[in-house]
């Protein structure tokens, strides 16, 4: 058995769904289970119209909802058989009627509670998974829809729910695995789950990858395939610097570092169930299905190049914290990180001296509150014009002179922060947003002049 996950651009239209069907049909002998994201930008559109309803723009929200319903019905009609249209259209229309009722509730509330965020955004995957399962029958497959909320069980932390793995695995083993073994193609929505008492939750944006990994672990899949619109992981982010090389094979540890530090082709949490069950993960391109993509495996991948890839995060905020009162005092770091813990804000990089700490965050939703609390114990300044650049590779810590090569390549670029050593897999730098592309190009030119052909596609 394998799990195949397809992102929003892979199922955004009837034409795209037909392409997905061909890819899945070619792998029927491997007993695939399929996980899909919402069609195109459906989740963004749902959240935007819900925000308008909360803001008192109920008529505009209704107009946008009608547009989304028309788009969904049009693409679904083209993708399915005539005999399947009546039940499918009824399913779609009933879901949009439910959405309209929820918009009325939000308009009355005048706010958008987290429970409603999960509920509204879940409709994208609930609709796309049913549409794709029905479309598969049009292309000669026995598509079966399973509501992911019945098998992915989570805690109650809305918008960022954590899966209850053992309960989810038991449900998946009971519901999904037998269907796959019978030759049916199960289609589920990614990103969504439910609490033990049935409240809809989501795993966070990009969580469809995570869902696929959970499904793979739950049914004992031999492989988890993440189908995107790129040929795999590259040596640099193509949105920052085109012309990177495909990475043929990479370790779970390196892939997790790249995902966390900005690589958009994989959700950072994806590797957790895969590592636990030692299931290889493949990154593949639904628009170029013959490309072998990137294979992510448990063991380290020997490579002559010290760096496997360069990841980036734009719009990083540096928080500088200084207090002479803390000279030689213990507990300073604890007091600082207690503040970030209180507001559930992850920290990326940290550098320290005796009386100061500089750290970076990319989630600034609670920045004002964080700074207010920190100013009770120290002076605080912030800078939101920075970008993070991260060199990732198994050989980074053990390669003499690597730092000199990196800093030499960046001799004309100011570096605000540096960390290396906390992880043996990365060297991280902070540069100005305006210098990001120049920095990535300089580092790429330095470390990828020659390529190990076992690891990279030249």
Q: Answer yes or no: are the C-beta atoms of 268 and 257 closer than 8 Å.
A: no
Query: Helix, strand or coil for residue 419?
Result: strand
Among 3.40.1160.10, 3.40.50.720, 3.30.1540.10, 3.40.50.11900, name the CATH number for the domain at 2-228: 3.40.1160.10
Distance in angstroms (rounded) separating the CA atoms of residues 405 and 2: 42
Model-level pTM?
Answer: 0.88
- Listed by start position, the domains of the chain span 2-228, 309-457
Residue 282 φ/ψ, nearest 5 degrees: -110, 135
Instruction: Kindly give, in sequence order, each residue whose CB lies less than 8 Å from that of residue 377, ignoring residues fewer than 6 positions away.
Output: 323, 325, 326, 332, 335, 336
pLDDT tens by residue, the chain, 458 residues: 999 999 999 999 999 999 999 999 999 999 999 999 999 999 999 999 999 999 999 999 999 999 999 999 999 999 999 999 999 999 999 999 999 999 999 999 999 999 999 999 999 999 999 999 999 999 999 999 999 999 999 999 999 999 999 999 999 999 999 999 999 999 999 999 999 999 999 998 778 999 999 999 999 999 999 998 889 999 998 889 998 999 999 998 898 888 877 777 777 777 789 888 999 999 999 989 999 999 999 888 889 999 999 999 888 999 999 887 655 567 788 889 999 999 989 898 898 877 789 999 988 999 999 999 999 988 999 999 999 999 999 888 888 899 999 999 999 999 999 987 666 788 999 999 999 999 999 999 999 999 999 999 97
CATH top class, domain 309-457: alpha beta
Task: Answer whether 106's CB lies under 8 Å from 53's CB.
Answer: yes
Q: What local confidence, expressed as pLDDT, does residue 161 receive?
A: 94
The number of beta carbons lying within 10 Å of the beta carbon of residue 139 is 17
Query: How far apart are the C-alpha atoms of 219 and 198, rounded to whole Å?
Result: 22
């Amino acid at each position: 058995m394998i799990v195949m996950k397809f992102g929003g651009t892979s199922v955004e239209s009837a034409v795209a769904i037909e392409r997905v069907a061909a890819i899945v049909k070619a792998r029927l002998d491997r007993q695939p289970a399929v996980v899909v994201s919402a069609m195109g930008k459906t989740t963004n559109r749902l959240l935007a119209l819900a925000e308008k309803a909360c803001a008192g723009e109920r008529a505009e929200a209704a107009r946008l909802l009608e547009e989304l319903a028309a788009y969904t019905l049009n693409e679904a009609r083209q993708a399915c058989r005539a005999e399947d249209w009546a039940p499918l259209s009824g399913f779609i229309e009933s879901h949009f009627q439910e959405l309209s009722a929820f918009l009325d509730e939000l308009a009355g509330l005048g706010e958008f509670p987290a429970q409603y965020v999960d509920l509204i955004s879940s409709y994208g995957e609930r609709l796309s998974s049913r549409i794709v399962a029905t479309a598969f029958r049009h292309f000669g497959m026995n598509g079966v829809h399973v509501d992911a909320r019945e098998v992915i069980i989570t805690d109650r932390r809305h918008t960022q729910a954590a899966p209850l793995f053992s309960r989810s695995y038991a449900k998946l083993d009971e519901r999904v695995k037998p269907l796959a073994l019978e030759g049916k193609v199960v289609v589920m929505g990614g990103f969504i789950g439910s609490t033990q008492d049935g409240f809809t939750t989501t795993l966070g944006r990009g969580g469809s990858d995570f869902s696929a990994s959970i499904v793979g672990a739950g049914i004992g899949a031999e492989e988890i395939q993440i189908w995107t619109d790129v040929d795999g992981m590259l040596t640099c982010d193509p949105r920052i610097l085109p012309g990177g090389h495909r990475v043929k094979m990479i370790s779970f540890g390196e892939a997790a570092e790249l995902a966390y530090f900005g690589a958009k082709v994989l959700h950072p949490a994806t590797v957790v169930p895969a590592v636990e069950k030692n299931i290889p993960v493949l990154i593949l391109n639904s628009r170029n299905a013959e490309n072998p993509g990137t294979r992510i495996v448990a063991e380290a991948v020997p490579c002559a190049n010290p760096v496997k890839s360069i990841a980036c995060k734009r719009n990083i905020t540096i928080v500088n914290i200084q207090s002479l009162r803390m000279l030689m005092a213990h507990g300073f770091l604890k007091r600082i990180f207690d503040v970030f813990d209180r507001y559930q804000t992850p920290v990326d990089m940290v550098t320290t001296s005796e009386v100061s700490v500089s750290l970076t965050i990319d989630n600034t939703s609670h920045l004002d509150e964080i700074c207010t609390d920190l100013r009770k114990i120290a002076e605080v300044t912030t800078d939101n014009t920075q970008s993070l650049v991260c060199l990732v590779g198994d050989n980074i810590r053990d390669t003499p002179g690597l730092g000199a090569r990196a800093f030499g390549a960046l001799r004309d670029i100011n570096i605000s922060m540096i960390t290396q050593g906390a992880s043996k897999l990365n060297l991280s730098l902070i540069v100005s947003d305006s210098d990001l592309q120049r920095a990535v190009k300089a580092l790429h030119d330095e470390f990828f002049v020659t390529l190990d052909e076992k690891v990279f596609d030249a």
